[in-house]
Structure 1
């Protein structure tokens, strides 16, 4: 259940583009055609699915305070968390270089259409944000880290795919001159963000139910008697209404 909730929250509620507005440079520049948006989105999914778990391993076993305890008790006092940014960026740059080589080898047309934005994934704040959010959320397992990486990448992919499809359509629409280009794109992005954030109410129902149960469990005995008496009165009124009908 935890994996499923994290998966859907990362895609919709905590979407990298619509919730935190990370990766907007590539989102705006490469979203003019669906074909290039799909290629870049797939590359982002791949990079995030690899880098977030790798950075989780680095953070858990090397960087955190006391993470080097597995080397021996004398290393337990070391705290290398100040190296987090450098190590995370080095991991991301390595993976992006690998993606660039693969895309250039198997899809030269996509490589040429993406242009400078493919190597710029290495400095895409959405990619680094995924690893930093993983660290701040204190994700407890490698499986959850992989889940968060791939779901965050899917969320970014859906965002750029949706705006690319819309921009291809509105190219033939009669848009007021001052809003053409980035103006209408920002307006549509804001409206899409409202739509994505509305999924938050659907994904927090379990938490609200659990909180209600905990509240009822901690009610004083006298309050419980009052609640039970109220429920009995309501049930009695319902029964009387049914008899009259």
Structure 2
């Protein structure tokens, strides 16, 4: 349970897709002029990440990793299909985005019209592929953690685009210097927000300090156990003298 909570908060605040690794910046900058469109796109990103990251985890565990095909028989134990990771991940993402687009158009035409071209653009949002690649590189051990990571990383991206959209709506009425209007002031605000989000790293240092203290205590105990007693030293000296 603690591992799930830690991964959830780290993915939202500390390892935020936008502020930590600058993924999905094209959509982040293009769709953040209005809060309404930012909310729609952010919700779609959460949904797509929540589906594609677990699906790609299953593909990675049971098809792509070296030796992952052992469930098909011992003759497939030496197969390594990891070179297909990019193709398989992108195919999964594109399929799910198309499915989401069809469902939204069928059941909510008003939302589909408000999102416009930005809904299919989720397929080429590098934050979506980045979620699956980070899941693979961090070797997330269970499907539950993969679902957790997909949802939390999507929430982190949603908070980033929602915050910058709200700020950009307000600064329209501010006296921003002419050279900084538009993307200039947006990049400055993004950098300041990134610093703020990274400062949340101190939330999880307490557990690390306790683990380090525990490891140090165990090391001291081992050293004490291995230290010879006074009687052992005297016995060794007497033995050398007799020899």
Q: Secondary structure at the match of 2:220?
A: coil
> Which 4+ runs in 1 deviate beyond 3 A?
106-110, 220-224
Q: Secondary structure at the match of 2:173?
A: coil
Give ranges in structure 2 of 5+ residues lacking alignment. 226-243
Distance 1:55 1:131 in 2: 6
Corresponding residue number in structure 2 for 1:213: 214
Distance 1:130 1:152 in 2: 7
Distance 1:52 1:169 in 2: 35
Distance 1:142 1:83 in 2: 21
Structure 1 stretch 66-75 or stretch 116-125: which is displaced more? 116-125
Q: Given the alignment of the two structures, is residue 144 of structure 1 paired with residue 145 of structure 2, yes or no?
A: yes
Contact residue 55 and residue 131 of structure 1 kept, 8 A? yes
Q: Which has the larger radius of gyration?
A: 2
TM-score by length of 1: 0.88
Distance 2:104 2:179 in 1: 37
Distance 1:208 1:180 in 2: 44
Give, in angstroms, the shift of residue 208 of structure 1. Answer: 1.9
Pairing 1:80-119 to 2, within 5 Å after superposition:
80-119=81-120
Give ranges in structure 1 of 5+ residues lacking alignment. 225-245
Pairing 1:70-89 to 2, within 5 Å after superposition:
70-89=71-90
Q: Given the alignment of the two structures, is residue 14 of structure 1 paired with residue 15 of structure 2, yes or no?
A: yes
Q: Aligned pair in 2 of structure 1 residues 172, 207: CA closer, same or farther (>3 Å)?
A: same
Corresponding residue number in structure 2 for 1:47: 48
Corresponding residue number in structure 2 for 1:128: 129
Give, in angstroms, the shift of residue 213 of structure 1. Answer: 1.6
Contact residue 36 and residue 110 of structure 1 kept, 8 A? no
Distance 2:154 2:93 in 1: 14
> C-alpha offsets along residues 219-240 of structure 1, whole Å, 9 cap, x if unaligned?
268889xxxxxxxxxxxxxxxx
Q: Secondary structure at the match of 1:116?
A: helix
Give, in angstroms, the shift of residue 102 of structure 1. Answer: 2.4
Contact residue 30 and residue 114 of structure 1 kept, 8 A? no
Give, in angstroms, the shift of residue 99 of structure 1. Answer: 1.5
Give, in angstroms, the shift of residue 33 of structure 1. Answer: 0.5
Corresponding residue number in structure 1 for 2:70: 69
Structure 1 stretch 25-34 or stretch 115-124: which is displaced more? 115-124
Structure 1 stretch 155-164 or stretch 108-117: which is displaced more? 108-117
> C-alpha offsets along residues 135-192 of structure 1, whole Å, 9 cap, x if unaligned?
0000000000000000000000000000001111111111111111101110110000
TM-score by length of 2: 0.88
Pairing 1:192-207 to 2, within 5 Å after superposition:
192-207=193-208
RMSD: 1.6
Give, in angstroms, the shift of residue 15 of structure 1. Answer: 0.3
